[in-house]
Amino acid sequence: MSGLVLALAQVKSAVGDLEGNSSKIREYVQRASDAGADLVLFPELCLTGYPPEDLLLKTEFTRSSMAALAELASGIGDMIAVVGFAESDYDVFNSAAVICKGAVHCVYRKVFLPNYGVFDEMRYFGAGNRNLVLDVSGTRVGITICEDIWFPGGPMEEQVARGGAEIMLNLSASPFNRGKYDYRKKLISSRSMDGPVVLAYCNMVGAQDELVFDGGSCVYHPQMGFIAKAGRFREELLTCEVDLEQLKGNRLLEPRFRYSRAECPHAEVDVCRLEKPAASAGRRKVPVQLCPTDLSLTEEIFEALVSGLSEYVEKNGFKKVVLGLSGGIDSALTAAIAVEALGGDNVVCAFLPSRYTAGESGDAAVELAENLKVRIITMPIGGIFAAYAGELAGELGEKEEGVAFENIQARIRGNLLMALSNQFGWLVLATGNKSELSMGYCTLYGDMAGGFALIKDLLKTQVYEVAEYVNERAGRELIPRFIIDRPPTAELRAEQLDTDSLPPYDELDPVLEAYVEQGLGTQEIISRGFTPELVKRVIRTVDANEYKRRQAPVGVKITPRAFGRDWRMPISTRRR
């Protein structure tokens, strides 16, 4: 067999933790060596963490990145490691260092810099302008970084056509959103067939603020399909022995390979010659690693929520979280996910009833807390509300009716949760969903108060789907059936239902998905069969509530377009 044994280090990185990230890289280099690999590949910017954002504008940080790389290289033996880092030269570059025998032998700089959605790479990086191919004991290996393979042509084609690359490495930090994994698999297979070239894709795992990285690293062979696949949402060292005999024979018969060479006659390709590690010569056969099952859309949402919360809590130095448990579906799901991510001992629930809170809500909240084995604190807000109403009676009247009095209740609850946070250092979890946030059906400094809004990117209908999965996964009604089946209500006035203020969620959510996530306009959405009245009402309300969303806490990105980094609408606009 001709080829190489590759190791793909699907690891977590923490932004700014150069020492911790270096330690993780050294650990996985050793594990790759123990596994008999010739080369180990790491994710994009794994040394600095991704995305470093405006840390990259601080010269001290980029200098520290270079110093950390030099120190890291000095401790690596004859294993070949390809490591993502922020390179400081005449500009700052998103780069991959090729390290072996105590030194950095060569560097590849990312060419295509994404500047859409959650990405701002043109703000931070210069674009690379040269290609790099490694000659590892006679096997040609190209290097690309994330976006470099997302479009046909470019550095990948040049490295194959002009540099003779047989294996293409791709360092990636591709953030999760619902359904993206299947898209990536199709893209990877397509680019591999374009070469033709074996494509090894190493993606990051873990989370950074609102972004979650779901892994799914893999190796695709143009004649054999996926020959190795890692799991998702977990760290893993994926090893794979690549047989290049079929690829070499195929290229001799494949006219596309020769045509592609003619199309890029002026591409610059640097060749860096390295030898395989001496210890790999007598290694045992490397077993095939194929992740046995893919995740459903609901399962991957669940895993992303768990990962996003656990990482945010750990990276920001919290130990426990607290949330308001109302007896409704949103707070119930938030509590269940929090227990999965952090353990029941680290989750505190506060039941904050008013005179409008139904007895069944309290029963459901207590039952859920018992099921989850979490502490529940009960603090009625009636007396505090009465004090507010008394002080405001001269200005607002004595009827205690209307939106102002409803919002006072929400703000009292927010104040109590923040008091618990201040006293005990607990992180407050806001429990609002994307449907409510879209329509402004939420209270500033009330139910929007908190440090992390776990389910802010789930439409209400998706909240129910994930809640059903939580129960299915548990094999019992962890979330009581009453909570799932009851009509949604904020319980801020007598006999209140969400449908008093909003269209039914099964009508509202498809319009929100079309407008917010797909970017469709009024007439395009109406043409899908929705009534003009519904569509115009929804769009008008979404646009009018941008000022609220700007003040919302961060939360896990789940959809292709989430409020926050993805959504940058003006607050002040005459477009209505």
Residues designated catalytic: 44, 110, 146
The rounded Cα 323 to chain-centroid distance in angstroms is 23
Q: Which DSSP string corresponds to 480-495?
A: -HHHHHSPP---SSTT
Residues 510, 463: Cα–Cα separation, whole Å? 14
Task: With beta carbons less than 8 A apart as the criterion, state whether 561 and 516 touch.
Answer: yes
Q: Strand 5-10's sheet: what is its strand order?
A: 103-109, 92-100, 80-88, 39-41, 5-10, 236-241
Measured N-to-C along each axis, helices 297-315 and 460-474 cross at an angle, to the nearest 10 degrees, of 90
Q: How far is CA 50 from CA 11, 17, 149, in A?
A: 12, 11, 18
Q: What angle do CA 115, 448, 179 make, to 5 degrees?
A: 45
Q: How far is CA 110 from CA 37, 202, 442, 529, in A?
A: 25, 15, 42, 44
Q: What tokens appear for 220 in the block? A: 């695709």
Residues 132, 60: Cα–Cα separation, whole Å? 28
Task: With beta carbons less than 8 A apart as the criterion, state whether 326 and 491 touch.
Answer: yes
Return the percent helix, strand and coil in the chain, to nearest 5. 40, 20, 40
State the amino acid at position 8 in one-letter form: L
Task: With beta carbons less than 8 A apart as the criterion, state whether 96 and 84 touch.
Answer: yes
Q: Which DSSP string corresponds to 201-240?
A: EEE-EEEETTEEEEB--EEEETTTEEEEE--BSS-EEEEE
Residues 6+ apart with CB under 8 A from 424: 320, 322
Residues 461, 447: Cα–Cα separation, whole Å? 19
Task: With beta carbons less than 8 A apart as the criterion, state whether 503 and 335 touch.
Answer: no
